[in-house]
Amino acid sequence: MTAILPAIRPVAPDSIRIGMPEMCRGGLSETWLWKAAGHRHWLALATAHGLDRPDFRDATGARLYAAFTETQLAEGRLDRVGEHDLLTFDTHLSRTGRTRFRSIVTVSTEKEVVGRLTLDSAFVGRRHTGRNRSAARGLVARPCHLLPPAHAHVPFRPATWDWIGPFQREDRQELASCVIDPNPHEDFNGADFLYFASYAALADRAEWHWFHQADPIVTTRSRRTFFLGNIELGDTVTVLLCGTRSDGDSMSHWIELRRTVDGALLAVSFAERGLRR
């Protein structure tokens, strides 16, 4: 009988020697880091379901995917990562609901922790082939080896949150906007969804358009993103700056991503960006 566990470390910590593909102008690429952490979350889910590869199916045999509902980066020191550093990932996965899971990925160099990423996901499948807007929750037919939680995780509600970081919901403004046309070669994943890591990349592109903070350059110290929808290829995304705060050598931004065609809220992101140390 397979043991039912409250949480697992699906594999031993794994490491990668940092080179140009993992870096950007300010140190470790945040977009690459989200992709790397998301891939480990995906593989951990396979282990939890007793699969040798992450091919998830519901009871009808239809394909299911792990759609991220919330991600958070804390203790970000991406500017302290340089070429040839050895970067280690330590991944722990737990179950937070019937179809929801959370991984905590601790990322370290040989000297220090440079990021602690929390990734929450739920399984979804398309009700209509090729239509991302038809994605709905699904249940993997294969049993999971993780113990369900005693209390259900409460999801983010755009209309009911009070404070997140330095921002209060009732203080929302529209200080600036930027329309971006996501690229199929860069922003969509192999499942044809707008990739979760691209949401942060779109926010970064908008920030560069608005602020052009180049000398000194800023890097991400923390970011919390709530994912609420997806787009079809050809849809544009309107990025809105809803709030900004400055504190010494750091600045915080509250950003919304909306589908331009109908204004549907796709994601809300709160990020603290600091001057490169």
Which tens digits make up the pLDDT trace of 154-183? Answer: 789 999 999 999 999 999 999 999 999 999
Q: What are phi and psi for residue 263, nearest 5 degrees?
A: 75, 5
pLDDT value at residue 148 = 80
Domain chopping of the chain, boundaries: 1-151, 156-277
User: If we measure between CA atoms, which residue out of 128, 46, 33, 43 comes closest to residue 74?
Assistant: 33
Class for domain 1-151, per CATH? alpha beta
Enumerate residue ranges in the chain where pLDDT < 70: 1-4, 9-12, 152, 277
Q: Quote the pTM value.
A: 0.93
Same topology between domain 1-151 and domain 156-277? yes
Q: Which residues make Cβ contacts (< 8 Å) with residue 121, sequence separation at least 6?
A: 41, 45, 66, 67, 68, 69, 100, 101, 102
Distance (Å, rounded) from C-alpha 32 to C-alpha 256? 22
Residue type, 74: A
Residue type, 162: D
Residue pair 125/105 in contact (Cβ under 8 Å)? The answer is no
pLDDT value at residue 213 = 78
pLDDT value at residue 10 = 61
pLDDT value at residue 181 = 98
Per-residue pLDDT tens over the stretch 107-148: 999 999 999 999 999 999 998 888 898 899 999 999 998 888
pLDDT value at residue 11 = 63
User: For the chain, what's the residue count?
Assistant: 277
CATH T-level assignment (fold) for domain 156-277: Thiol Ester Dehydrase; Chain A (3.10.129)
Distance (Å, rounded) from C-alpha 18 to C-alpha 20? 7
Specify the residue for token string 């020697």: 17
